[in-house]
Structure 1
């Protein structure tokens, strides 16, 4: 005779349901974990507190992050491909902290990590090995000067010739319909505050001076996007005229919680299209990071001063 079970029919049914559902629950948990791991900047959260002398998995990804934005150039240095927090990395972290108004300790404190994981422009902060946020570098070398940080003009004399102060723009196939009006408004805002005139080429976007398009990951320009939550967009300095948005981001027309405004990113990237680098003024359109749920409606005085200085108008 089989032994009598002490379990009630309800308990037996519940156990059977758990056995049936367990594979699905496990798979959902794995997918959630995979989603967190696949975030392009998720690794930074595990590096809080790291400093010179540490060897922690993920530091090599930090090196690649800082190299992407111009803070590091190892040139086949012995520590380029390892997880050692070396002196060059410490100096790069200090420069990053200075550019973003953080305490420049060289240690990855919580505030530094929070700033690094914010959605941002994919263009470098530092061009050709020289900090494009020059005032911050001066303050690092001479902190007693309390130098004000401001707009930057990347080395290379990137600007449009006087014959091209009237620029046309066009939206290439694949641009979301909801993006066109906010980006057009961004061009209008720049037009009101500068000597440039912008007009929408509705007949032939391919023949426009400035071409706006949306892409995913590797899109053939040598500067692949990294997926949701990382680099939002990038634009070429004059006179190339290309502006690429990351199609995998959550976009909105205007301020919306959990989304990034097409127009605000457009304002920033148009500044690059005209020749401006990043600004160290938090609140300026040309500041590298963008806050979700916020929409910029005007240029900052720092942006206007920068474009006037570049074109001497």
Structure 2
């Protein structure tokens, strides 16, 4: 009886253990080999749908439907992946436009397609049919500083998971097989500091990967959590809500460490710290925001650096955890140190469905913790 139970469990564990990859890290954009710079992004083919609207049939629209389903804009039960622009696709386009503050026509116009083809995070924008990106919350949200704007656009995972009260000291570790350099680890250390600066939370690196609260790894393709990575650009990373603490990045991206994009910027260069700061927000319980200046905005263009928390990010994270006693609402101290932060430019998207993340993540806790 015992043996019969253990065998399937072992098979499940083996089947979903992710395989780490050797990631592409570059000290600066000029060190990226031309051979690794693609001529087009993974979603650039969607640009041919400019002007498409309900009633049109166009080759490849089925792939666009799958894109929208991946990010929550089309229900998971939908399975009519034909090339017909039906009412479900029209509704998806309109909701996407609302979330990204675009003209909500339901038609695939140029501004909409420009957003769709951007690299993005893997977490969904719509969870269980409900979008939290476009509507401002009431002004009675928590804030350590009364000068922060009143309307909030941040969001949380379903049921607002967070790390337990009183657990302010969290540990993080890197997948040992990735063998990350001190320079790369330093990028993540700074990214964690962005959040500890405004909350009571502290983050300490540990060598015990299995016991760490937050576990970070670089993977490629299908890595066992139901949401495979897609190579250069497309989806960049995804993270699981508390208390799972898993943070996966696509090892095939061209990750730039120094954050200097003031010179030439290859279309495939992705600032590692920008993506890390965003995904850590998910690890702490934040969902996506419709505020373009916010770290938790879902998309980022290549050659962009965005590392400073916006007011919307601060309001959201402080509603979950409260404020750092030393934080007075002024500008973060981490940014004015000679860093170039293009925080007004488009951002990154996480492309994992939050529902899938929560389900798979909770299951992974039982198996790997």
Bigger Rg, which one = 1
User: The TM-score by the shorter chain falls in which range?
Assistant: 0.7 to 0.9
Q: Give the deviation of 1:304 after TM superposition.
A: 0.7
1:59 aligns with 2:69: no
Q: 1:133, 1:149 within 8 Å by CA — same for their partners in 2?
A: no
The secondary structure found in structure 2 opposite 1:180 is helix
Q: 1:175, 1:213 within 8 Å by CA — same for their partners in 2?
A: no
Moved more, 285-294 or 274-283: 285-294
Partner of 1:283: 293
Q: Give the deviation of 1:49 after TM superposition.
A: 1.2
1:237 aligns with 2:241: yes
Superposed counterparts of 1:242-253, under 5 Å: 242-253=246-257
> Partners of 1:149 and 1:81 in 2: how far apart?
36
Q: Give the deviation of 1:271 after TM superposition.
A: 0.3
Partner of 1:15: none
1:300 aligns with 2:310: yes
Partner of 1:160: 163
Q: Give the deviation of 1:65 after TM superposition.
A: 0.3
Superposed counterparts of 1:219-234, under 5 Å: 219-234=223-238
Q: Give the deviation of 1:42 after TM superposition.
A: 2.7
Partner of 2:94: 94
> Partners of 1:176 and 1:51 in 2: how far apart?
47
Moved more, 191-200 or 267-276: 191-200
> Partners of 1:136 and 1:111 in 2: how far apart?
23
> Partners of 2:297 and 2:50 in 1: how far apart?
24
1:16-45 deviation line (CA, Å, top 9, x unaligned): xxxxxxxxxxxxxxxx9xx768x5313211
Q: 1:48, 1:108 within 8 Å by CA — same for their partners in 2?
A: yes
The secondary structure found in structure 2 opposite 1:234 is strand
Partner of 2:154: 151
> Partners of 1:97 and 1:148 in 2: how far apart?
20
Q: Give the deviation of 1:106 after TM superposition.
A: 0.6
Unpaired runs of at least 5, structure 1: 1-31, 138-146
Q: 2:174, 2:216 within 8 Å by CA — same for their partners in 1?
A: yes
Q: Give the deviation of 1:76 after TM superposition.
A: 4.2
Q: 2:156, 2:286 within 8 Å by CA — same for their partners in 1?
A: yes
Change (3 A) 1:65 1:175: farther
Change (3 A) 1:59 1:148: farther
Which is bigger in relative contact order (C-alpha 8 A, separation at least 6)? 2
Partner of 2:216: 212
The secondary structure found in structure 2 opposite 1:278 is coil
The secondary structure found in structure 1 opposite 2:124 is coil
1:148-173 deviation line (CA, Å, top 9, x unaligned): 56111222221111142210011112
1:163-202 deviation line (CA, Å, top 9, x unaligned): 422100111121542421111100011111112111111x
> Partners of 1:58 and 1:197 in 2: how far apart?
47
What TM-score does the superposition give when structure 2 sets the normalisation length? 0.68
Equivalenced residue count is 268
Change (3 A) 1:104 1:265: same
Partner of 1:185: 190
Moved more, 233-242 or 41-50: 41-50
Partner of 1:44: 46
> Partners of 2:208 and 2:48 in 1: how far apart?
48
Q: 1:269 aligns with which of 264, 273, 279?
A: 279
1:126 aligns with 2:126: yes
CA RMSD in angstroms comes to 2.3
Q: 1:135, 1:148 within 8 Å by CA — same for their partners in 2?
A: no
Which consecutive aligned stretches of 4+ in structure 1 deviate over 3 angstroms post-superposition? none
What TM-score does the superposition give when structure 1 sets the normalisation length? 0.80
